[in-house]
Amino acid sequence: MKQIIQDLKKGNTLLEEVPVPQVKTGQLLIKTTRSLVSLGTERMLVEFGKANIIEKARQQPDKVKQVYEKLKTDGLLQTVSAIKSKLDKPISLGYCNAGVVLESSISGINKGDRVASNGPHAEIVRVSKNLCAKVPDNIDNETAAFTILGSIALQGVRLLNPTIGETIAIQGLGLVGLLAVQILKANGCRVIGIDYNRSRCEIAKNYGAEIIGLGNGFDPISFSNNITHENGIDGVLVCTASDNDSIMHQAAEMCRKRGRVVLVGTAGLNLRRDDFFKKEISFQVSASYGPGRYDINYEEKGQDYPIGFVRWTEQRNFEAVLQLMSEGKINVKPMITHRFPFADAERAYELIMSDKPSLGIVLEYENEEKQGEEFRKTTIKINPTFRKISGVPNLGFIGAGNYAGSVLIPAFRKLNVNLKSIASSGGISGAFTGKKFGFQETTTDTDSIFNDNDIDAIVVTTRHNSHADLVIKTLEAGKHVFVEKPLALKLDELENIKLSMRNNQSSILMVGFNRRFSPFILKMKEILKTANGPISMVMTVNAGFIPQDHWTQDPKIGGGRVVGEVCHFIDLIRYLVNNPISNYKKLSMLSKSSDTLTISLEFENGSIGTIHYLSNGHKSISKERLEVFFDGKVLQLDNFRKLKGYGIPGFSKMTRFRQDKGQLNCAKSFINVIKNGEVSPIPLNEILEVSKISIELSENI
């Protein structure tokens, strides 16, 4: 299938071939019939992609500060690499979609139903249950594609809380502003439309608004005072796309005492206190479609808000807009200025970036008649020049996220292996990453990788809750497996993996505990061989804050930070001591989050290790610091860039221009044992020991 993506690095807007997404529980698969280009949002994204690195920095000053802090801790090369990785990722364009359901895993919506959703511009889209709504029979597909923008306008109106007979001004008569005009008129309000564009003003006038054409020299403040007998209007809905501070000043000046201003679009927010203070004007920013927006539990997990407590959610706003359309109270036809076949979608983006007038741009999909497997392919070839190298392993990757694309895949690629297939559930990240690194094919069907007899080993880089299951499936398929940490989230998963390993002893299991392969750690290991007795270690990790709604913090998906990341440092200390862990305990800071904690490890040979994992520090301090004390000597490793020795004959320091946490050596060790038939580079008993302890510490067992 085809999908529109924006290349943020090169600035290109592309119509790309990608595999059809997987459908999970609580999701729909929809065949698109029409989609609407959001003129303001999508133009902003395209402009950002086309901007040079300096212009991008100016648009995101907060990111510049993060770059500066990373420079101080990680060095120039690591920082440049991170920036390139961030920019070298495509984004989907579009969020106003109408189509026909192909597959449904939710009740109330069945195959063949027409739905409106926030799906992107693609021939087939996947959406969650709370991000779509059924389309009434008397609404055509073109009109239904305006549902999402209509809900944005509706949510702004809801926050404004207008009553019958009130006078409301709308600044900015783009698509959202014109939809808001009709919603307010349906609500019994007197509406004033404000814009420079004459044609948009004319459309608003035909919808029943009184018009202030700014290009004609009209003064909105005087106009508002005249029609309200100097009292001022009741409220202003700001639907502009500008960074001009005067917009908010004007809105406040137009309002009566205790009037309301709601920002739906963008405007400069250098607010003047007197504007709002003297009249006690309230100001609020509207969050897109309504309650539920940006809530992972609502949007991704499908957890609805009880209607008795939250009357209007995102989905209920969708349904309300469709109801207004069905009753003829919202008419979108006058707003449509252009229609393009989806195959010519790139022309639509050339139009929005030009000076030619446009408003509603509808993409028409020819796939209404398309059927069959060819249209719904889950696996596509992406590298026609792929040539298999004999004598080296063939790899399949499951997962194409940030870490896979920026670290793991580049590491394996340097080893000249055959990158056969890469899987991602949504399709777009797998297709883009696969093309970038020269994979033969990309898929959304993970079973195809297990069933591919040409694939020797599978690298698992998905979310943590899927690791154990994918490891077991790989082992049962008779393949080697490299899984990014953690190996498992639960003890019973760990037991199932142990059983699978006993049944498939010819397969290599390796967890991405890469730090033990760093040249710094290898040097420390060499020096510690001379230790005459037990050693003591202190690992300080300036981990930083991660919001509680991030997937890594979800016990069922990410497992939390102990099992998800602290396992790295438990393994590192275990490797350096080279002795089993005999006792362990955790002390957490008393708070809602257990992200700030200390873990104490005792070893059978008398050595001890302490891990301080801290989320309450500052980013300007390096993330990782390891100190080892033994025989009156000290080794001090700073952020995997500098290693210093104190009191160690023949060794004082070791430095690198960039961090080296051992990812390349880790991947190389895995490939070498496959090629040479050697034992696993990390003994299985150590993998299981570290994994078990991490899980128990996470669960406070």
Q: Per residue in 390-438, pLDDT tens?
A: 889 999 999 999 999 999 999 999 998 999 999 999 999 999 999 999 9
Q: What pLDDT, in 10s, does the model give residues 337-384?
A: 999 999 999 999 999 998 888 999 999 998 656 665 666 889 999 988
DSSP H helical segments within 405-466, as ranges? Answer: 409-413, 428-437, 446-450
pLDDT band at residue 89 under the 50/70/90 scheme = confident
d(Cα 689, Cα 672) in Å, to the nearest integer? 24
E-assigned strand segments in 244-287: 255-263, 282-285
The pLDDT assigned to 217 comes to 74
Q: Is the pLDDT of residue 527 over 90?
A: yes
Q: Where are the domains of the chain?
A: 2-146+332-369, 149-285, 380-511, 515-698
The pLDDT > 90 percentage for the chain reads: 76
What topology does CATH give the domain 380-511? Answer: Rossmann fold (3.40.50)
The pLDDT assigned to 79 comes to 58
Mean pLDDT, to the nearest integer, of 305-317? 96
Cis peptide before 291 (omega within 30 of 0): no
d(Cα 560, Cα 594) in Å, to the nearest integer? 9
The pLDDT assigned to 86 comes to 61
Q: Is the pLDDT of residue 148 over 90?
A: yes
E-assigned strand segments in 196-328: 210-213, 233-238, 255-263, 282-285
Q: What pLDDT, in 10s, does the model give residues 626-639?
A: 999 999 999 999 99
Higher pLDDT, 71 or 7: 7
Q: What pLDDT, in 10s, does the model give residues 104-121?
A: 988 889 999 999 999 999
User: Positive or negative CA dihedral for 549, 552, 553, 556?
Assistant: positive
The pLDDT assigned to 69 comes to 57
**Tokens (6 digits) for 336:** 């449509």
Q: What pLDDT, in 10s, does the model give residues 469-496?
A: 999 999 999 999 999 999 999 999 999 9
pLDDT band at residue 39 under the 50/70/90 scheme = confident
Residue 580 neighbours by CB distance under 10 Å: 12
The pLDDT assigned to 338 comes to 96
**Tokens (6 digits) for 540:** 């300080």
CB 663 within 8 A of CB 407: yes
Q: Is the pLDDT of residue 48 over 90?
A: no
d(Cα 244, Cα 246) in Å, to the nearest integer? 6
Mean pLDDT, to the nearest integer, of 272-298? 93
The mean predicted confidence, pLDDT, of the chain is 91
Q: Is the pLDDT of residue 65 over 60?
A: no
Higher pLDDT, 75 or 32: 32
CB 17 within 8 A of CB 383: no
The pLDDT assigned to 59 comes to 60
CB 337 within 8 A of CB 359: yes
d(Cα 509, Cα 457) in Å, to the nearest integer? 10
Q: Is the pLDDT of residue 286 over 70?
A: yes
Q: What pLDDT, in 10s, does the model give residues 668-684?
A: 999 999 998 878 899 99
Largest CA-CA distance found in the chain, in angstroms, rounded: 93
The pLDDT assigned to 678 comes to 79
Q: What pLDDT, in 10s, does the model give residues 178-226?
A: 999 999 999 999 999 999 999 999 999 999 999 998 877 778 999 999 9
| Contacts of range 678-684, beta carbons closer than 8 Å, 24 or more positions apart | 680/508, 680/509, 680/510, 681/510, 681/517, 682/510, 682/511, 682/513, 682/516, 684/501, 684/509
Phi, psi of 469 (to 5 degrees): -65, -45
Please list, in sequence order, all residues whose beta carbon lies within 8 angstroms of the beta carbon of residue 167, skipping any fewer than 6 positions away: 189, 190, 191, 192, 224, 227, 228, 233, 234
CB 120 within 8 A of CB 3: yes
Q: Is the pLDDT of residue 56 over 60?
A: no
d(Cα 669, Cα 147) in Å, to the nearest integer? 53
Predicted TM-score (pTM) of the model is: 0.88
The pLDDT assigned to 682 comes to 96
State how far the alpha carbon of 203 is from the alpha carbons of 181, 334, 512, 615, in Å. Answer: 10, 7, 60, 53
d(Cα 602, Cα 585) in Å, to the nearest integer? 9
Q: Do the two domains 149-285 and 380-511 of this chain adopt the same fold?
A: yes
What topology does CATH give the domain 515-698? Answer: Dihydrodipicolinate Reductase; domain 2 (3.30.360)
* Residues making up the chain, counted from first to last: 701
Higher pLDDT, 59 or 459: 459
CB 561 within 8 A of CB 555: no
Mean pLDDT, to the nearest integer, of 136-150? 97
The pLDDT assigned to 466 comes to 97
Residue 29 amino acid letter:
L
Which range, of 170-174, 200-204, 227-231, 496-500, averages the lowest pLDDT? 227-231
E-assigned strand segments in 299-373: 336-341, 360-364
d(Cα 201, Cα 179) in Å, to the nearest integer? 13
Q: Is the pLDDT of residue 524 over 60?
A: yes
Superfamily of structural domain 2-146+332-369: Medium-chain alcohol dehydrogenases, catalytic domain (3.90.180.10)
d(Cα 510, Cα 507) in Å, to the nearest integer? 10
d(Cα 598, Cα 587) in Å, to the nearest integer? 5
d(Cα 113, Cα 449) in Å, to the nearest integer? 33
The pLDDT > 70 percentage for the chain reads: 93
Q: What pLDDT, in 10s, does the model give residues 239-273?
A: 998 888 999 999 999 999 999 999 999 899 999 99
Q: Is the pLDDT of residue 645 over 70?
A: yes
Q: Is the pLDDT of residue 593 over 60?
A: no
| Burial (0-12, 13-18, 19+ Cβ within 10 Å), 208 | middle
CB 571 within 8 A of CB 559: no
**Tokens (6 digits) for 194:** 């404000």
| Burial (0-12, 13-18, 19+ Cβ within 10 Å), 216 | exposed
d(Cα 569, Cα 599) in Å, to the nearest integer? 10
pLDDT band at residue 6 under the 50/70/90 scheme = confident
The pLDDT assigned to 58 comes to 59
d(Cα 542, Cα 342) in Å, to the nearest integer? 48
The pLDDT assigned to 369 comes to 61
Class of domain 149-285: alpha beta
Residue 13 amino acid letter:
T
